[in-house]
Amino acid sequence: MPRRLSAALAAATAAATFAAVPAQAATPLDYVALGDSYSAASGVLPPDPTAPPLCLRSSLNYPHDIAKATGAHLTDVTCGAAETRHFTTSQYPGVPPQVDALSADTDVTTMTIGGNDSGVFISAILACGVAGIASLGQGSPCHDLYGSSFEDTIRTKTYPSLVSALQAVRAKAPHAEVGILGYPWILPATGGCFDKMPVATGDVPYLRGIQATLNDAIRRAAAATGVTYVDFSSASNGHDACQAAGVRWIEPVLQGTNPVVVHPNALGEAQMAARTIAVLGLG
């Protein structure tokens, strides 16, 4: 057989053999989701049947959306009402500290956390709601009553707690890509919607400022610990609780669709997932 023909047949045989060997599938990412009710999607149906009942976790939370989009293997320990301390201590009987789900093999972990610490965020919303109703939506009664107290607590207590929590995550998952999400806007910059959110007009920028201070504390804690901050300050503009259904990411106190008010709906969770995938490069 001529040498060229022999070489050609050998090459063809090798190519055919290579083509017959199935490509090895990439190993799925080991993805662990931590966090509070914004990560658990508390109030969004259907509930996650594997979750502890008190955690109010949804099967449509952004971690499930990320896992579905990326093919990652998801371990979801998100739990409504979680504080930073619940990363290292049990939140409820039978619910382990959240960082116990992490290991040296964890590839990716995400979270929202900090909003429940010291009761600041929920206390501010409730206090401003009560004050807004009492003033029939006029003036800035909440700001007049509480001043900088909420923001002072975030800076002096929540921020160091965030740093400690992220350090605990880093210690348990030293090789993981760690992402911490900011909280999407609850209210517009000005104006508000007293029919849906019982906040006085003058307190709308006040509450928005408190949320901005919380998100800035999260951003700074991420920078201090080498964690990626997923910023929603621009992406969630125009998707606050005052917007129409199908546009808003956050459900209002009144005229909403979720039983857990002032929390993301399924659209909000999907958008949180999409931005997190883009920022962390999980496509």
pLDDT per residue over 61-117, tens digit each?
999 999 999 999 999 999 999 999 999 999 999 999 999 999 999 999 999 999 999
Active site positions, annotated: 37, 263
Would you say residue 16 has pLDDT above 80? no
- Strand arrangement, sheet containing 228-230: 73-76, 30-33, 108-111, 177-181, 228-230
Residue 4 CA: distances (Å) to CA of 12, 77, 124, 138: 12, 63, 82, 91
Asked if residue 273 belongs to a domain, the reply is yes
Which amino acid is located at 209 in the chain? G
pLDDT score for 236:
98
Q: What is the pLDDT of residue 125?
A: 85
The pLDDT assigned to 102 comes to 98
Whether the pLDDT of residue 23 is over 80: the answer is: no
Amino acid identity at 109: T
Contact 193, 129 (CB under 8 A): no
Q: Residue 17: pLDDT above 80?
A: no
Closest CA to 173 of 19, 6, 34, 4: 34
Question: Which element (helix H / strand E) includes 75?
Answer: strand 73-76
**Residue 25's pLDDT band (boundaries 50, 70, 90)?**
low
In a domain, 217, yes or no: yes
Confidence band for 38, pLDDT divided at 50, 70 and 90: very high
pLDDT digits (tens, 9 = 90+) for 171-221: 999 999 999 999 999 999 999 999 899 999 999 999 999 999 999 999 999
Q: State the pLDDT confidence band at 10, using cuts at 50, 70 and 90.
A: very low
Question: What CATH number does residue 171 fall under?
Answer: 3.40.50.1110
Other beta carbons within 10 Å of 97: 17
pLDDT at 14: 44
147 pLDDT band (50/70/90 cuts)? very high
Answer whether residue 138 is part of any domain: no
60 or 14, higher pLDDT: 60
Residue 43 CA to residue 213 CA, distance in Å, equals 26
Alpha-carbon torsion angle 234, 235, 237, 240, nearest 10: -140
- Whole-number Å distance between alpha carbons of 273 and 258: 19
At residue 36, the pLDDT reads 98
Is a pLDDT exceeding 80 seen at residue 228?
yes
Band of residue 272 on the pLDDT scale cut at 50, 70, 90: very high
* 7 within a domain of the structure (yes/no): no
Residue 2 lies in a domain: no
Token look-up 């919607």 returns: 193
C-alpha distances (whole Å) from 207 to each of 7, 95, 214 are 76, 32, 11
The length of the chain is: 283
Cα–Cα distance list, 13 to 1, 5, 84 (Å): 16, 12, 60
Average pLDDT, the chain: 91
Is residue 13 assigned to a domain?
no
pLDDT of 18 strictly over 70: no
Instruction: For residue 269, tell me if it sits in a domain.
Output: yes
Domain enclosing residue 72, as ranges: 27-119+152-187+211-238+261-280
* Cβ contact 183:215 at 8 Å: yes
- CA–CA separation, 218 vs 180, rounded Å? 8
* pLDDT, position 126: 85
DSSP state of 185: P
Q: Based on the structure, what is the number of domains in the chain?
A: 1
Burial of 39 (0-12, 13-18, 19+ CB in 10 A): buried
Closest alpha carbon to 197 in 112, 132, 246, 248? 132
Domain presence at residue 181 = yes
Q: Average of pLDDT values for 249-277? A: 96
- What one-character-per-residue DSSP string does 224-260 give? HHT-EEE--TTTTTT-STTSPTTT-SB--SSS-S-SS
